[in-house]
Structure 1
């Protein structure tokens, strides 16, 4: 824990600077990971970490301002400089997170219709909540590297399919260089399951010169064969490379070891995004 704090301290905003907005981070920073790991309500965070409202407000502000994302990008840059990112093989997958009942019902700014009683909506379409078999859920779409660490992710409603989210998630992948040069945005190879398969995704990966091993569903194979020459060539598939797809599943499993990620307690999508980013930071800080 001391090693993690030593690596994290220089990346925190205003830490230790006279006249800064936040002069001391240590107490509050210990309280935020406590909530992340245990998933307890903010009001039940032990008083040894300071007032619960201060702990919650710090996490909310840094999630809204992109502070957690900036820290994650900085850690990725240092990891890339130390050659600790497995660019040779990356995997993409998604996982559903059950939303707690308190995560629904965020306020909306929709105009009130005169003469009609205003009922609060169950959930807003822009808050990453959707209906699935398990009720209200959110989905985390994730790109993980070969060392079983997250590289980029996005939050969507739980009922959305994986295939349309492949391009947006890969476009979020941007690892800056500590020296001069453009950020690295492309892995050498990408693996994915049948849910990520589509002609659009394969065309995008070919344009980006990213080798890929994505399983083809039976429906796509039958449609391609039915169209004859117009359906294109059969897709390449290497069973040996595809076995490494479990690496991204291990990455998702590591993220969901944090109870605040496995179950969404945050009402707003940007706060839950910050929660997932903090979990990714914890994984990268570990030796």
Structure 2
């Protein structure tokens, strides 16, 4: 690995950690970067999941004030996230690599669309919250099922799981978006840690990439939690979409 490849991966990790703490979709920065540098899609996904796990933990710690008093709820939601992540990793490891390479452009495309529509979803969620202030405090069985399915997706391919999580929690819970963002960071950390632990033992991994992403995403997680809310979300969204579209083109032409 050349020094500029290492620098690029490190910077991508910082960027992804920041975006994950604020919005989600940091994988749409790191995954295309690794693919562009020549790493196979499966290796890029497994290394990315392990390397970004410290960043999701860092982001969750940065939101500790919003998470105060939510311990029981976090435990409740972490269970379906954990089992979902195990299911997603099982899919990735059991399906042939060419199946993953075929479906990844579609998954990236879905993630890009979710990033694009996220502002409209946020507006709709805010209006719904005003109309239904008495919604269940824990979201009920439907939310638990959706958290599980998002965990499966996150264990298989992590991009935009945070956006998905914010959308479903916003629709089914009445908490402020900042409190929901804190919960999202914890659940993303659960999925990434579980998936990363499995991949570390049984999947192809580039450990130099993992180390660089881990350092970068940890720094980025703190930056995102502290100053991310001051960054222009529209600009971040445009860059994420551009990177995602570039990734689709790169994957299709491989």
- Give the TM-score band, short-chain normalised: under 0.3
Q: Which has the larger radius of gyration?
A: 1
Higher strand share: 1
TM-score after normalising by structure 1: 0.26
Higher relative contact order by CA 8 Å / sep ≥ 6: 1 or 2?
2
Higher helix share: 2
